[in-house]
Structure 1
Amino acid sequence: MSETLSASTRPAARVEGSVPVAPVVRGLSVDEASAFTDLLVASRTASLTLAAAPTQVKNSALRGIAQALRDNVTEIVAANTLDLDAGRAAGLSAGLLDRLTLDEARIRSLADAVEDIEQLTDPVGQVVRGSSLPNGVKISQVRVPFGVVGVIYEARPNVTVDIAALALKSGNASVLRGGTAAENSNRVLVGLIQGALVAAGLPAESVQTIDPFGRAGATQLMQARGHVDVLIPRGSAGLIQAVVTESKVPVIETGAGVVHIFLDDSANASWASDIVHNAKVQRPSVCNAVETVLVHEAAAVRLLPGVLAKLAESGVTIHGDAAVREIYPAAVPATEEDWATEYMSLDLAVRVVTDLDDAIAHIRHYSTGHTEAIITNDIVNAERFLNEVDSAAVMVNASTRFTDGGEFGFGAEVGISTQKLHARGPMGLPELTSTKWIVRGTGQVRA
């Protein structure tokens, strides 16, 4: 189980003299459990206010959040520095440290994203479809908020802002578990967000963190069916699987990214080199970075030297099969584990395949259903790849780094769903809503 979700390992309640300390109930003391329930009840109450809040009020809060981020860069960076120092001391990987980092540029980018969300159409109340029955009864399906959205994530303080803003605009209260690694950063961010909410006339409890409840709080959040309407995990494959397996709350599964690029025999060499390099090097710690490159055997000698040399210049370690190592001896031998690994680092698995069918078969076996791409000048192969590869995003002649809510015009994203029910791919405002049916009659009864 992920460190974030493990059951509480705190020692048994300590007794001083003859005064007993409150017993532990499912990892929380009685007092903690009561406080946790009160927090969830407050979220539910806030969600009722948010569901009815006019768009202009929500937008005012979003503008306040963006301004608060810009006005408090120094405070946010100082808190984030504490988290980074603790993360290095704890041995966090380079990929997790990169995800954890909030510098001035990233904070200002977050503020810009919040303002982008403000400009998006409010999904609440949108009519999805409707009709009039022969008897004059009018029916319509409209978007409504989920209510209370819980999110569990690791070492990603940017998610705190993204989720809070998207949940707010879509009329949802959010309960956040950002993990120990980002606890200082998240405490400051949530405080700034709550201040902006209150200034706009909305409840501070519209956005809350359960980080003070530790690992046991995450476990309790997964059991909070009735208090929480949907739970979204973001992070490692271990975290996501733990939430999917153990949660009693309905889960929208966001997947780890074992992302593939297939270099077809007709691939343009310049495109192949540039796209693979961008997909691996631009930001290797994120879920849409490529982790495995497959190359058609008829193009391997033509494409691999240039593609791999450019990667090596940027410090990428190539994990290659025997055919790759014959062409590029600097590669280290790839193992079976490499094909299923989301490195989140400057490592890349590379394999030579016999043809498009072999590439698709490899992807079907090892993919996490996130993003796959083909580089080709063959329109038939391009269409086959688009039609036969079953992932949330499938691309032709483009970097996998484009699978992103911001790039797709959502302002930010809740996550990238790799499941097939309700939502798939980058999730924005509409994906944080459900629907209900509105029926208007003039006295009709059913015959």
Structure 2
Amino acid sequence: MREKIREMGERAREAAHFMAKAGSSVKREALEQMAANLAREHEAINAANEIDLGQALQKGLPQAKADRLRLSEKVVKEMIDGLRQVAMLPDPIGEVNRMWIRPNGLRVGRMRIPLGVVGIIYESRPNVTVDAAALCIKAGNAVVLRGGSEAFHSNKCLADILCKSLAAVGLPPAAVQLVETTDRQAVLEMLKLEECIDVMIPRGGEELIRFVAENARMPVLKHYKGVCHVYVDAKADLSMAENICLNAKVQRPGVCNAMETLLVHGEVAESFVPQVGKSLRDAGVEIRGCQRTRALLSDCTAAGEEDWYAEYLDLILAVRVVESMDEAIRHITKYGSQHTEAIVTDDFATAHRFLQEVQSSLVLVNASTRFNDGYQLGLGAEIGISTSRLHAFGPMGIEELTTTKFIALGAGQLRT
């Protein structure tokens, strides 16, 4: 196992040197080829995904988590659209951000370059295979992918299509490699390859991410969990607030940008909590609330301290009534995970204050938390959402898969 993973890392390092020099047109052609081949091979993709779904359901995987595994027609279309969107984005490599002139006439600037080799360890979602490959290729990187055992057949099918697409345009297939084993030892071996892999990005549950962060010898871009909040202000449009809350909680409850806690201003609680509570219950949501929430919802169970910290990833929601936005912000600061927070309000000053004072990777006004996604924010795709503030914060697109080096242009200057 150790030698196999090391060989993959060495091939990826060689491919990364090639990719760093690849022109914009050939990278665009590779991504367009990938999109066309995914569309052409939809039956093979569906067949592989059905094998994974069948095995997962036999093992008792919860429905919300099975949803993350499913490559529906919509998900496949989003992958294809994402590839095409990334293909058309400007190539960041070689861009000089700015230049300045020193007193001695030396011109100094910063040029954008690839990170090198990116390692990605992820669970459940096979669409990560495509999103990660697209962004890494566009940014001139190579990528080593290790998906979860539950998505093994789906990941392999997708990776094979991507590698064939690279070869078809003259790029090294080793620029996209999938670790084709479910042996967990492969993860540990990847985490030791600091001489081959420049950065590691884990995507999955908190247990996986902590394991990667604790064992990796290279830098890790991570988020442990998504405890996302929606705060309904005293001056909110309550009909809009209800729709936003339903979308944020119910559309896909098993994802990291789903709402886990609803905060409601006390001035609108008596009218809004019963209204939104009925809609949520009709959608199958279990509500756990504070004392004031329980007084307004007869079948609401009591929320304990652990509920305010919880990332349920299921049709469960914690609800708290607060007396002010200050109290809402204090709650978010204490219990949140700096992932995604939203406010529903018609008051501009209140919205502006919320945007300034809430320090999460995406803060929204009058919109669902479900928009914290690279595709939805116009990045084409994302390789993950970082809640670490160093090197990236929020959805990681092409630019977050690059760094900068200093360049200096002289005319014979010597240091004295």
Q: CA deviation at 1:213?
A: 6.0
Alignment of 1:61 with 2:39, yes or no, is: no
TM-score (norm. length: structure 1): 0.91
How far apart in 2 are the matches of 1:126 and 1:95? 42
Alignment of 1:224 with 2:208, yes or no, is: no
Decide whether the 8 Å contact of 1:180 with 1:211 is kept in 2.
Answer: no
Match of 2:364 in 1: 395
Match of 1:271 in 2: 240
How far apart in 1 are the matches of 2:54 and 2:394? 34
Match of 2:42 in 1: 73
How far apart in 1 are the matches of 2:158 and 2:350? 47
How far apart in 2 are the matches of 1:137 and 1:362? 51
Alignment of 1:99 with 2:68, yes or no, is: yes
Residue from 5, 13, 17 that aligns with 1:48? 17
Match of 2:166 in 1: 197
Secondary structure in 2 matching 1:212: coil
Alignment of 1:86 with 2:55, yes or no, is: yes
Residue from 127, 149, 153 that aligns with 1:158? 127
- Superposition pairs of residues 184-263 of structure 1, within 5 angstroms: 184-212=153-181, 214-263=183-232
Residue from 331, 347, 367 that aligns with 2:300? 331
Letter of the 1:88 counterpart: L
Decide whether the 8 Å contact of 1:255 with 1:370 is kept in 2.
Answer: no
Decide whether the 8 Å contact of 1:69 with 1:108 is kept in 2.
Answer: no
Secondary structure in 1 matching 2:184: helix
Q: Deviations over 1:263-287 (max 9, x none)?
A: 1222211111111111111222211
Q: Deviations over 1:295-325 (max 9, x none)?
A: 1122210211111112222222211222111
Deviates more, 1:343-352 or 1:49-58: 343-352
Match of 1:21 in 2: none
Match of 1:305 in 2: 274
How far apart in 2 are the matches of 1:136 and 1:83? 62
How far apart in 2 are the matches of 1:104 and 1:389? 36
How far apart in 2 are the matches of 1:87 and 1:317? 24
Deviates more, 1:403-412 or 1:377-386: 377-386
Decide whether the 8 Å contact of 2:148 with 2:182 is kept in 1.
Answer: no
Deviates more, 1:128-137 or 1:199-208: 128-137
How far apart in 2 are the matches of 1:35 and 1:273? 52
Q: Deviations over 1:356-387 (max 9, x none)?
A: 22211111111011011111233333222222
Alignment of 1:136 with 2:105, yes or no, is: yes
How far apart in 2 are the matches of 1:250 and 1:422? 10
Residue from 230, 252, 255 that aligns with 1:283? 252
* Corresponding pairs, count: 416
Q: CA deviation at 1:38?
A: 1.1
Q: CA deviation at 1:333?
A: 2.2
How far apart in 2 are the matches of 1:387 and 1:442? 46
How far apart in 2 are the matches of 1:339 and 1:73? 42
Q: Deviations over 1:338-367 (max 9, x none)?
A: 211111222111111222222111111110
Match of 1:356 in 2: 325
Q: CA deviation at 1:104?
A: 2.6
Deviates more, 1:363-372 or 1:239-248: 239-248
How far apart in 1 are the matches of 2:59 and 2:334? 34
Letter of the 1:302 counterpart: S
How far apart in 1 are the matches of 2:75 and 2:389? 31
How far apart in 2 are the matches of 1:249 and 1:133? 35
Match of 1:419 in 2: 388
Match of 1:114 in 2: 83
Secondary structure in 1 matching 2:255: coil
How far apart in 1 are the matches of 2:352 and 2:80? 39
Match of 1:314 in 2: 283
TM-score (norm. length: structure 2): 0.97
Letter of the 2:250 counterpart: V
Match of 1:429 in 2: 398
How far apart in 2 are the matches of 1:58 and 1:71? 20
Match of 1:6 in 2: none
Secondary structure in 2 matching 1:350: strand
Deviates more, 1:255-264 or 1:169-178: 255-264
Give identity over the alignment, percent: 45
Match of 2:311 in 1: 342
Q: CA deviation at 1:52?
A: 0.1
Secondary structure in 1 matching 2:288: strand
The runs of at least 4 consecutive aligned structure 1 residues that moved more than 3 Å come to: none
Where do 5+ consecutive residues of structure 2 fail to align? none
How far apart in 2 are the matches of 1:75 and 1:213? 21
Secondary structure in 2 matching 1:261: strand
Decide whether the 8 Å contact of 2:71 with 2:126 is kept in 1.
Answer: yes
Decide whether the 8 Å contact of 1:259 with 1:289 is kept in 2.
Answer: yes
Secondary structure in 2 matching 1:442: coil
Q: CA deviation at 1:35?
A: 1.9
Deviates more, 1:328-337 or 1:202-211: 328-337
- Superposition pairs of residues 29-44 of structure 1, within 5 angstroms: 32-44=1-13
How far apart in 1 are the matches of 2:108 and 2:322? 54
Deviates more, 1:153-162 or 1:373-382: 373-382
How far apart in 1 are the matches of 2:50 and 2:306? 34
Where do 5+ consecutive residues of structure 1 fail to align? 1-31
Alignment of 1:124 with 2:88, yes or no, is: no
